[in-house]
Amino acid sequence: MKTRKLGKLEVSELGFGCMNQSGNYNGPVPKDQGIKTIRAAFENGVTFFDTAEVYGPYINEELVGEALQPFRDKVKIATKFGFAIDGTVALDSRPERIKRVVEESLKRLRTDHIDLYYQHRVDPAVPIEDVAGAVKDLINQGKVLGFGLSEPSAKTIRRAHAVQPVTAVQNEYSMWTRNVELNGILDTCNELGIGLVPWSPVAMGFLTGKYDPSTKYDEKTDFRAGFPRFSKEFMPLNMPIVERLKEYAAKKGATPSQVALAWLMAKSPNIVPIPGTRSETHLLENLGATRVQLDAADVLAIDTSLSKFPVYGDRMGKDHMLSIDYSI
């Protein structure tokens, strides 16, 4: 496994998103299975693991902390703050809360420092300069090593970066969700030397080619049941994207997931995708993306092909979309 830089933070070129172990797209996995999968990622070269206090909530950090404890000094852990965790999707990034919840995350993660601490969503009630200042204090105390933002606007990135250099930005980015190419996020990160960490790099499973309009999503445990792109109305209209991806992957001797991840890595050396899975088989499949080499001509060919297929429906449900930072 090669490494890449997120700011000054060196990590494996593919990370591992741990959220799926604790639900959101399915029910939580048994604890032993989650630990086994996370450790399998490490054993196969992954050194960058992503979690958040809101996953579970709390239980995902606990799982990650236990799974990684035997080799904590060999990995980088990213976690997040910023949701109120009150049964809604309300936000709370008040500096006093940040300084309280970091202690709780450190305890759950069984560590004395967090390598990358993201604001999970930009809180319009708290100036980003205050958030950056609070994290800067934690960095000065050695409790946090790097500052991150998730789903910010380009303007917010610049304002935060002026107070405390931003290590990485985490936004949804995949062949199915390319907002960062159009809204200045990718350009801003490249200009300022900030890493970009695509979450949902295989589009919540859509780009695996294993879902179709007949797929059922559990309304109680699976967010996708309320996401427009996965609806009965829009899913059939979106299928040409994945069908084209399947054809391209076959020509490359790879799976659709592998090409989707390789495409992201080919977009910029500052990009580190964090695919997540509950299955060791899918984990190994995803890691195979590091062996799929796409050059500039390949990326251009894929982009040209994708341009023929519009994407139908919002990427998340209404409540989730309200927490995205659109400030310009």
Is the pLDDT at 315 greater than 80, yes or no? yes
Question: Mean pLDDT across the chain, nearest whole number?
Answer: 96
Cis previous bond, 124, omega within 30: no
Question: Which segments of 116-203 are extended strands (E)?
Answer: 116-119, 147-150, 166-172, 195-199
Average the pLDDT over 61-88 and give the result: 97
Q: What is the enclosing helix (H) or strand (E) of 43?
A: helix 31-43
Is the pLDDT at 214 greater than 60, yes or no? yes
Phi, psi of 195 (to 5 degrees): -75, 155
DSSP state of 30: P
> Is 55 one of the catalytic residues?
yes
**Number of Cβ within a 10 Å radius of residue 164:** 21
Question: What was the pLDDT predicted at 25?
Answer: 78
pLDDT tens string 230-241: 999 999 999 999
Is the pLDDT at 98 greater than 60, yes or no? yes
Domain boundaries, the chain: 9-321
Is the pLDDT at 227 greater than 70, yes or no? yes
Q: Which is catalytic among the residues 25, 55, 173, 217?
A: 55
Beta strand 3-6 with 9-12 is antiparallel
Question: What was the pLDDT predicted at 327?
Answer: 64
Residue 328: burial class (beta carbons within 10 Å; 0-12, 13-18, 19+): exposed
Is the pLDDT at 319 greater than 90, yes or no? no
pLDDT tens string 16-73: 999 999 977 777 899 999 999 999 999 999 999 999 999 999 999 999 999 999 999 9
| Predicted TM-score of the model (pTM) | 0.96
Query: By three-state DSSP, how is residue 12 classified?
Result: strand
Query: By three-state DSSP, how is residue 71 classified?
Result: helix
Question: What was the pLDDT predicted at 27?
Answer: 79
Interatomic CA distance for residues 36 and 256, integer angstroms: 25
Q: Determine the CATH number of domain 9-321.
A: 3.20.20.100
pLDDT tens string 277-300: 999 999 999 999 999 999 999 999
User: Residue length, the chain?
Assistant: 328
**Number of Cβ within a 10 Å radius of residue 206:** 27
**Number of Cβ within a 10 Å radius of residue 38:** 23
